[in-house]
A and B are shown apart, each in its own frame.
Chain A
Amino acid sequence: MSVMTPDPPSKGRIDVDNFALSYDTLEGPVEAVCNASIHVNPGEFVSIVGPSGCGKSTLLNAVAGFLKPTKGGVTVDGEAVDGPGADRGMVFQQYSLFPWKTVKGNVEFGLKMKHLDKSSRDRAARTLLGLAGLTAFENKYPDSLSGGMKQRVGIVRALATGPKVLLLDEPFGALDAQTRVIMQQILTNMWQRLKISVLFVTHDIDEAIFLSDRVYCMTARPGAIKAEITIPLERPRHQSMMMSSEFLGLRRGLMSLIREESIKAMGGELNDLALDGLSIDLHGQSLADVL
């Protein structure tokens, strides 16, 4: 897409075809995702947005290899996904750093699993931590870090093994607005440097538009792909673009798509007018926070 690289990356293609997954429960199978198809080109940044509970995490966990599709297939570079592996890095919303390892220990973990020797592990970890501005904290334990720092470590840890794709499940959902903006910038920088494919799950529309080359919008459960939107904003992107008419136009479009689905997800009983007022209010506030 608009990736500005002289030689486009050749690895990291994700294909999810006619994907369906249902959970077995006491009340019978619950269909979380039905008939979703998405693809991510090598080096592309793709987001999935959708109302809460629509199956975004389910889809992402299937790509990570934690869940087996009930129907359809998931392939990465043409190879069917069979269980989790270091070729697909994952970043979780709950940070999920190992509390018993220092920042550096966390980052080195994947390399240790690859049986790299201590000195090259050390070198790689230091380089990456430097990139993320975490050098001063390399010997700290995660419990003493702020949420933003923890998630930076989480991203660096996932990138340390040199995965082909990076999967992120609402990674900035627990962060405050200011920290989130900084984290988005850091993620963008790392993505551009490492030329890696990214599949990013979020419920934040601004975040999805600002970061992505393409955005998939999912329907309420059972989740299917409702729309696929290409984001033609040029790169590198700046915060000021979030005020451009182009951005706001995209935002308005995605917003109305999501709102329909959110109402469906909440049971469809809410007064649309009241919800309309609510979303405009929230919008003003979040935008003010961001700027």
Chain B
Amino acid sequence: MESIALRREQQTAAEPATGAEPSYAPTVQSQGGAPPQFALYLRRWLALNRSGLRAVLIGAISLALFLLAWHLLTEYRVVFFVRFTNVPSPSAVYESLTRAMHDSTFFMHVILSCRRILFGFSLAALIAVPLGLVMGRFRLAHEILFPITEVLRPIPAIAWVPMAIMLWPTNEQSIIYITFLGSFFPILVNTLHGMSLVDPVLVRAAQCLGAREMSIFREVYFPASLPHIFTGLTVGMGVAWVSLIAAEMISGQFGIGYFTWEAYSLVQYADIALGMICIGVLGLGSSALIRGFGRLVMPWSRT
């Protein structure tokens, strides 16, 4: 108990310290006027974000070095266990990117993949989140459904490909189904985890304030689990891409995974790297989208 009190004191003591203005702040402020104010903010911003800026700078240098290494390895066709003889150089990839920019089929591949992700992932989120909430709240639902999910969960989505082709009438549907499966379990498991961590004291507090079952569900269990739900969504989005690309490579027509695989068959090696980079960027973008959405719906977790 004493340690809690101590910790709190330290926290409150630390807050003003980090938020404290630099000692030169008052003298600059006293001069008044808009331009010094702006300069002051800029300087403060720089001071507060120094470590962030440093990370950005070093990150940029590191990426540039990576590009350089790639360039040199492919330029001199290095063979040292790994063979770079056929690997496209960065400039070749850039070339094929500019070509792809004027080519509607490339965009069609990208858009088709995004659509599959959108359908598969949204469906998974719309089913797994409510299911996790219900399983977390009602013991009977948990007891009935948990064994089934535990048996199905270790099966990688890719292993479902033949089965999916049999289950669904069209290729498109089976690819969406694979994507759905890939993201379903991470979302479900994380939602369940979030539900299991809900502080029972908060539930009691709500009951003492007159909340009934539905209100407790909506006002306590759901928001309390949201951070874990979003962890699940982020992980699920990653697995959705993994599953989608694999499914497209195996059974696909169209899609960025298919594009990448086809580039290999057609001996257009630069397009392989282009497809890979494109997949990376799409994955990055979609998780950033989820993170942003998470920040929007959980304003309390941002300090």
Contact = CB atoms under 8 A, between A and B. Distances in A.
Interface residues of A, number: 36
Interface string B286-301: 0000000000001111
Contact of B211 (A90, A101, A113, A173): A113
Interface string B239-263: 0000000000000000000000000
A161 interface: yes
Which of the four size classes fits the interface of chain B? 20 to 34
Given A96-B201, A147-B5, A84 B207 contact: yes
A173 B1 contact: yes
A109 to B, nearest CB: 5
Given A66-B204, A173-B1, A110 B298 contact: no
A146 B12 contact: yes
B5 A113 contact: no
Interface in B208-246: 208-212, 215, 219-220, 223-224, 226
A113 B8 contact: no
Given A66-B204, A94-B201, A173-B1, A100 B224 contact: yes
B210 A110 contact: yes
Contacts of B201: 92, 94, 96
Contacts of B211: 109, 113
B210 A176 contact: no
Nearest to B222: A100
Interface string A73-112: 0000000000111101110101011111110000001100
B223 A158 contact: no
A114 interface: yes
B82 interface: no
Interface string A56-77: 0000000011100000000000
Given A90-B204, A146-B8, A161 B224 contact: no
A109 B219 contact: yes
Nearest to A163: B208
Interface of A: 64-66, 83-86, 88-90, 92, 94, 96-102, 109-110, 113-114, 141-144, 146-147, 157-158, 161, 173-176
Nearest to A167: B208
B108 to A, nearest CB: 42
B150 interface: no
Nearest to B207: A84
Interface residues of chain A: helix, strand, loop or mixed (majority)? loop
Nearest to A203: B1
A144 B303 contact: yes
B202 A98 contact: yes
Given A66-B204, A109-B219, A157 B209 contact: yes
Given A92-B204, A174-B8, 19 more contacts: A64-B204, A64-B208, A84-B207, A84-B208, A85-B207, A86-B209, A89-B208, A90-B208, A96-B205, A98-B206, A98-B223, A100-B226, A109-B209, A113-B209, A114-B210, A146-B8, A146-B12, A173-B1, A176-B5
Contacts of A176: 5, 9
B204 A96 contact: yes
A76 B160 CA distance: 60
Contacts of A175: 5
